[in-house]
Amino acid sequence: MIEHSNLEEYLDPVNYDLEFDGEMDKYQFYLELARSSPGEVLELACGTGLTTIPLSKAGITMTGVDISSAMLAYARLKAGGLTVTFMEGDARTFESDKRFSMIYLTGNAFQAFLSDQDQNDLLTTVHKHLQPHGIFAFETRNPEGTDLSDQEETEWGSFIDKDGKNVKVSGTQCYDASQHIMHWVTMRDSGDKRTTSRIACRFTDQATLQSLLTRHGFRVEHQYADWDKTPFSPSSSSIISVCRKC
């Protein structure tokens, strides 16, 4: 199941955007993919629309689904008069009469599905809502290319928050090898305030991923290491998968 604590990362959508916005190469990757399969596009786990909105601005008819009402409220505010639909829902149980030409998840959202059942339910949802031969794309961290060792608090970076304060970001990690789940604790320190949030992410290796996608009726057409479409290798830090519904 998706742990309740995972939602702690998404309680402050404005600062979330300030910390994570600006991945132009990623936006361009998904835009090019959407243009290669004309029709309506669905983003699952869309959050504040960091990717949904740029694609909508580029003329793609978009629907975004997310489990967090706070993130969606901010997404709708940012979207203004754009032709984009935001819906609250769980990607494992989402139901729509629409069939989409492309469905994607980004921000490593695939890793938020922590059990075999979660992954199966997600992929069942995707397959059901894709048009025949539609595209499914997502990225996930590659366990073979990631340092999974337990780590004490280390500095991860910084950003300027909505109040103009410099926020230092640090965190710890602890990997449960039996469940393939990483538990991260993130600390954000603005000088007069320090917050803590927790998130759990499942790591799935390439071979397991390939088997899982095949069982659910997808053909993997491409796997990349980065948004520049560098071919995936076992040491790559990411697995960016582009699949076709069989």
Structure-block tokens of residue 158: 């910084």
Token readout for 220 is 């993997």
Q: With the C-alpha atoms ordered 217, 104, 47, 79, is the resulting torsion angle positive or negative?
A: negative
pLDDT string in tens for the chain (246-residue length): 444 456 777 888 999 999 998 889 999 999 999 999 999 999 999 999 999 999 999 999 999 999 999 999 999 999 998 989 999 999 999 999 999 999 999 999 999 999 999 999 999 999 999 999 999 999 999 999 999 999 999 999 999 999 999 999 999 999 999 999 999 999 999 999 999 999 999 999 999 999 999 999 999 999 999 999 999 999 999 999 999 999
Q: What is the DSSP letter of 29?
A: H
- pLDDT value at position 81? 86
pLDDT for 10 equals 81
DSSP 20: H
- DSSP sequence for 118-172: HHHHHHHHHHHHEEEEEEEEEEEE-GGGS--S-EEEEEEEEEE-TTS-EEEEEEE
Do the beta carbons of residue 57 and residue 29 sit within 8 Å? no
- Global pTM exceeds 0.75: yes
What pLDDT shows up at residue 9?
A: 79
| Residue 16, C-beta contacts closer than 8 angstroms, at least 6 positions apart | 9, 10, 47, 48, 71
Rounded Cα–Cα distance for residues 110 and 203 (Å): 9
Strands 238-245 and 130-141 come out as antiparallel
Q: Which uninterrupted H or E stretch holds 107?
A: none
Structure tokens at 75: 């997404």
Residue position matching structure tokens 């989402």: 94
pLDDT value at position 4?
A: 45
**Residue-level pLDDT at 85:** 96
Residue 74 CA to residue 67 CA, distance in Å, equals 13
